[in-house]
């Protein structure tokens, strides 16, 4: 049985990864300091003999007393609310945390996968965004702490690959949604669903013409797993290329929840991307991966989970 360490394993994507890997008969070690993760996300796994939970901040030295085959580095605040409230922690986990986990990968001779982000593209001037695009990032703006943490993470990951010959992978993850998202996460999916279920106004920033694309969690973890196993060092976009304006997305949430909520408009946050759509040509060609779950199907599952979590 191979051992996989997942940092940020009590978070939204990380906890689903733990589930997925256990089903694939891996021994999973989840490391999370619960800053933005939640132990409820992994509570159903705590009695599984092939699962371990370690409460630890990866910006500190990481000691693991067993062999490791893979390290999946998913630890980081990941929503605008989180990294605006926790800017230094966001920068530290992207720099010191990535450095520490790469050092552990070097020690254990483990394959290392970095969870990067579409935010490395900033407010893109190229659309859709291919991996060859270098981005349009404001390094000193309020969002810059997350953007630059991920960009640094990519740089040091490839430096370790080139200098220490570590087997490394980089997943550039676009908007992902599904059960276990935090209700107060601050991202558009939990915002709209929670507002709609309570018949509160749906808050659209700007005029709602900005676009996003949404990938369901089961598709995302499948893409991450394929990348983990494949010999591909260059970054790979993982996301759903079906693009939708925020105003149309708000209307869809209203319809699916049968909500009486009104739609209201507020000022667009600083450096908020106007467009966001992955070019997944590389993922299709290299990994044989593309999203399978439709937006409506994924949203129905997510809305059902939000309804039950409010009870």
262 inside domain: no
**What is the percent of the chain with per-residue pLDDT over 90, rounded to a whole number?**
92
**Residue 310 or residue 98, greater confidence:** 98
Spatial distance between the Cα atoms of 121 and 136, rounded to a whole number of angstroms: 6
Burial class for 136, CB neighbours closer than 10 Å (0-12, 13-18, 19+): middle
Q: Provide Rg for the chain, Cα atoms.
A: 19
pLDDT at residue 83 is higher than 90: no
Residues 6+ apart with CB under 8 A from 102: 112, 156, 157, 160, 166, 168
DSSP state at residue 24: T
Average pLDDT of the residues in 187-196: 94
pLDDT higher than 80, residue 144: yes
Query: Pick the catalytic residue: 26, 146, 216, 225?
Result: 146
Residue 106 domain flag: yes
Give 132 or 183, the one with higher predicted confidence. Answer: 132
% of the chain residues with pLDDT over 70: 99
Q: Based on the number of CB atoms within 10 Å of its own CB, is 310 exposed (0-12), middle (13-18) or buried (19 or more)?
A: exposed
| Predicted confidence (pLDDT) at residue 311 exceeds the cutoff of 80 | no
The reported pLDDT for the residue numbered 21 is 98
311 lies in some domain: no
CATH number at residue 47: 3.40.50.720
- Number of compact structural domains in the chain: 1
CB 4 within 8 A of CB 21: yes
Task: Please report which confidence band the pLDDT of residue 281 belongs to, taking 50, 70 and 90 as the band edges.
Answer: very high
Mean per-residue pLDDT for 159-173? 98
Among 149-163, 182-196, 241-255, the least confident range? 182-196
Is residue 196 predicted with pLDDT exceeding 60? yes
Q: Is residue 270 in a domain?
A: no
What is the pLDDT confidence band of residue 208, given thresholds at 50, 70 and 90? very high
Averaged pLDDT for residues 273-288: 95
Predicted confidence (pLDDT) per residue in 28-62, tens digit:
999 999 999 999 999 999 999 999 999 999 999 99
H or E element at residue 15:
helix 12-23
Residue-level pLDDT at 296: 97
pLDDT of residue 104: 98
Residue 140 maps to a domain: yes
Query: Angle of helix 246-257 relative to helix 188-197, nearest 10 degrees?
Result: 40
Domain that holds residue 129: 3-176+216-240+277-292
133 counts as catalytic: no
Residue 184: band (very low, low, confident or very high) from pLDDT cuts 50, 70, 90: confident
Q: 111, 138, 135: which is closest to 6 by C-alpha?
A: 111
What is the pLDDT, as a whole number, of residue 131?
A: 98
Q: How many helices (H) and strands (E) does the chain have?
A: 10, 13
pLDDT at residue 310 above 80? no
Global pTM value: 0.96
CB burial of residue 87 (10 Å; 0-12, 13-18, 19+): middle
Residue 142 lies in a domain: yes
Q: What is the mean pLDDT of residues 54-77?
A: 97
Assigned domain for 257 exists: no
**In which element (H, E) is residue 159 found?**
helix 144-164
The beta-strand segments (E) located in the chain are: 3-7, 27-32, 51-55, 70-73, 111-117, 168-173, 176-177, 202-205, 211-213, 215-216, 236-238, 243-245, 263-266
**Residue 298 resides in a domain:** no
156: part of which helix (H) or strand (E)?
A: helix 144-164
Average pLDDT, whole number, for the chain? 96
Higher pLDDT, residue 272 or 283: 283
């Amino acid at each position: 049985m191979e051992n996989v360490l997942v940092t940020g394993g009590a978070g939204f994507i990380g906890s689903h990864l733990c589930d997925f890997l256990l089903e694939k008969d891996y021994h999973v070690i989840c490391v999370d300091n619960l800053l933005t993760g939640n132990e409820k996300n992994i509570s159903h796994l705590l009695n599984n003999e092939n699962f371990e939970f370690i409460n630890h901040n990866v910006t500190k030295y990481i000691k693991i007393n067993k062999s490791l085959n893979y390290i999946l580095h998913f630890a980081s605040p990941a929503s605008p609310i989180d990294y605006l409230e926790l800017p230094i922690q966001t920068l530290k986990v992207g720099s010191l945390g990535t450095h520490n986990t790469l050092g552990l990968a070097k020690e254990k001779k483990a394959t290392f996968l970095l969870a990067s982000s579409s935010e490395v593209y900033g407010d893109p001037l190229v659309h859709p965004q291919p991996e060859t695009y270098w981005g349009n990032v404001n390094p000193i703006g309020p969002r810059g702490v997350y953007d630059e943490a991920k960009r640094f993470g990519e740089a040091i990951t490839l430096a370790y690959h080139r200098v220490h010959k570590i087997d490394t992978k980089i997943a550039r993850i676009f908007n992902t949604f599904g059960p276990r998202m935090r209700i107060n996460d601050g991202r558009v999916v939990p915002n709209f669903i929670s507002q709609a279920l309570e018949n509160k106004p749906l808050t659209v920033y700007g005029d709602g013409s900005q676009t996003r694309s949404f990938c369901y969690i089961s598709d995302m973890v499948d893409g991450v797993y394929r990348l983990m196993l494949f010999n591909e060092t260059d970054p790979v976009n993982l996301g759903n290329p079906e693009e939708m304006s925020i105003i149309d997305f708000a209307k869809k949430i209203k319809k699916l929840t049968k909500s009486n909520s009104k739609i209201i408009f507020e000022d667009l946050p600083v450096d908020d991307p106007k467009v966001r759509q992955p070019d997944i040509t590389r993922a299709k060609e290299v990994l044989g991966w593309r999203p399978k779950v439709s937006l409506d199907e994924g949203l129905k599952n997510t809305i059902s989970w939000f309804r039950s979590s409010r009870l």
